[in-house]
């Protein structure tokens, strides 16, 4: 038996899904025990064809080396049959990799969310689009500032770091206003759906507030049937539905905002939206497993339609230049499809 395990960092482990699936396919005759965040299990189960797989889940943020050690002992797993997800990159030397060592993502989806969920969400976006008087409706997935960063000892430090690290919702709304005003001249409605992690009522209040403050022609939609924080298979199904609709209508699927878990799931479940933009902070030296090198490499021609925008290192926490550049990129890219 081979034991595969992750850390407790959901976003980056989702980036590792493809290499896990490839490794399991390479070792298709082996039995596997996967120790992972329990939120990952359903999306793993719907994407793995092998029946020789067992799962052991841990609750959010409670990865335990002691529990991992107990699994190893109770299943008599040999030392050379234990791998973390990130260990597997070295086991697949024939796979194309980025300079950072991560796999180049496929141009085809490798996660398979439940088809009934995809169909349910497709009905939702089709119904929502009809509420705009049969206009051409382009949907964008957006995600912005989380209230508190993981960095900082005090509440004020966490708030400050949160603003420096992650793209503010107010900047997202500013970008939306510009694109909505530009596209309405082309008789196109541009609707944003929030893929925001956190408490649903607070997110709804934030989306309503910035929509009103920025006088958005079309307010940010908050779809409460998806648990954005804890059920990645729901997100994956929703992103697949949005992308399939765009392909059917020959219009672009769009996403912009933070370089966080939702962007990994978009790539994994669709192969990549037609137009995507990620906002990156200005830290000189990213911490281990930071996502910026990955997104920079992907946006340098590896993944068509994706572009990254980084803060000015001399002006940390100021996102204005990112927003201005992102506005023009998104508008021009969307118009190129129409």
Rounded distance between C-alpha atoms, residue 131 and residue 135, angstroms? 9
Averaged pLDDT of the chain: 88
Q: How many residues appear in the chain?
A: 338
Long-range contacts of 29-34 (CB under 8 A, 24+ apart): 30/1, 30/2, 31/1, 31/2, 32/1, 32/2, 32/3, 32/4, 33/1, 33/2, 33/3, 33/4, 33/71, 33/75, 33/77, 34/3, 34/4, 34/5
Residue 331, pLDDT above cutoff 80: yes
Q: What are the pLDDT digits (tens) for 144-164?
A: 875 555 566 787 777 777 677
- Both tokens of 220, joined, read 């940010």
Q: What is the pTM of this model?
A: 0.90
Burial of 120 (0-12, 13-18, 19+ CB in 10 A): middle
Q: What are the pLDDT digits (tens) for 227-244?
A: 888 889 999 999 999 999
Rounded distance between C-alpha atoms, residue 8 and residue 267, angstroms? 21
Mean pLDDT of all residues in 215-224: 94
Q: What is the model's pLDDT at position 184?
A: 94
Rounded distance between C-alpha atoms, residue 247 and residue 243, angstroms? 6
Residue 115, pLDDT above cutoff 90: yes
Q: What are the pLDDT digits (tens) for 4-55?
A: 998 776 666 677 888 888 888 888 889 999 999 898 898 888 888 777 899 9
- CA distances to 13, 34, 141, 170, 306 from 276, rounded to whole Å, are 21, 32, 9, 18, 5
Burial letters 287-326, b for 16+ CB under 10 A, else e: eebbbbbbbbbbbeebbebbbbbbbeeeebeebeebbeeb
Provide the pLDDT confidence category of residue 195 given band limits of 50, 70 and 90: very high
Q: What is the model's pLDDT at position 285?
A: 64
Q: What is the model's pLDDT at position 328?
A: 96
Q: How far apart are the first and last CA of the chain?
A: 52
Residue 253, pLDDT above cutoff 60: yes
Residue 117, pLDDT above cutoff 70: yes
Per mean pLDDT, which range of 44-53, 175-184, 214-223 is the poorest? 44-53
Mean pLDDT of all residues in 180-200: 92
- Both tokens of 325, joined, read 């550049």
Provide the pLDDT confidence category of residue 289 given band limits of 50, 70 and 90: low
Query: Which has the closest alpha carbon to 281: 158, 167, 151, 142?
Result: 167
Q: What is the model's pLDDT at position 147?
A: 54
């Amino acid at each position: 038996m081979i034991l595969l395990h992750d850390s407790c960092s959901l976003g980056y482990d989702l980036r590792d899904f493809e290499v896990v699936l490839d490794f399991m396919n390479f070792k298709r005759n082996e039995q596997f025990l996967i120790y992972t965040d329990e939120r990952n299990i359903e999306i793993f189960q719907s994407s793995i064809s092998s029946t020789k797989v067992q799962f052991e889940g841990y609750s959010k943020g409670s990865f335990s080396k002691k529990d991992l050690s107990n699994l190893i002992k109770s299943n008599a797993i040999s030392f050379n049959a234990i791998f973390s997800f990130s260990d597997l990159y070295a086991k697949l030397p024939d796979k194309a990799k980025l300079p950072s060592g991560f796999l180049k993502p496929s141009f085809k989806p490798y996660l398979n969310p439940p088809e009934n969920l995809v169909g349910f969400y497709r009905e939702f976006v089709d119904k929502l689009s009809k509420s705009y008087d049969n206009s051409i409706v382009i949907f964008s997935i957006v995600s912005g500032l989380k209230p508190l960063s993981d960095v900082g000892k005090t509440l004020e430090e966490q708030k400050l770091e949160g603003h420096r690290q992650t793209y503010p919702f107010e900047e997202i709304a500013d970008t939306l206003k510009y694109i909505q005003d530009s596209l309405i001249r082309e008789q196109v409605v541009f609707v944003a759906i929030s893929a925001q992690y956190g408490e649903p009522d607070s997110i709804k209040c934030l989306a309503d507030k910035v929509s009103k403050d920025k006088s958005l022609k079309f307010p940010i939609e908050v779809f409460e049937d998806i648990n954005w924080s804890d059920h990645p298979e729901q997100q994956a199904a929703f992103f697949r539905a949005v992308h399939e609709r765009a392909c059917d209508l020959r219009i672009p699927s769009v996403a912009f905002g933070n370089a966080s878990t939702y962007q990994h799931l978009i790539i994994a479940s669709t192969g990549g939206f037609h137009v995507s933009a990620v906002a990156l902070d200005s830290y000189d030296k990213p911490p281990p497993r930071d996502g910026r090198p990955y997104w920079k490499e992907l946006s340098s021609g590896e993944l068509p339609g994706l572009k990254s925008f980084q803060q000015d290192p001399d002006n940390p926490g100021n996102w204005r230049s990112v927003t201005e550049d992102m506005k023009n990129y998104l508008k021009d890219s969307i118009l190129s499809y129409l």
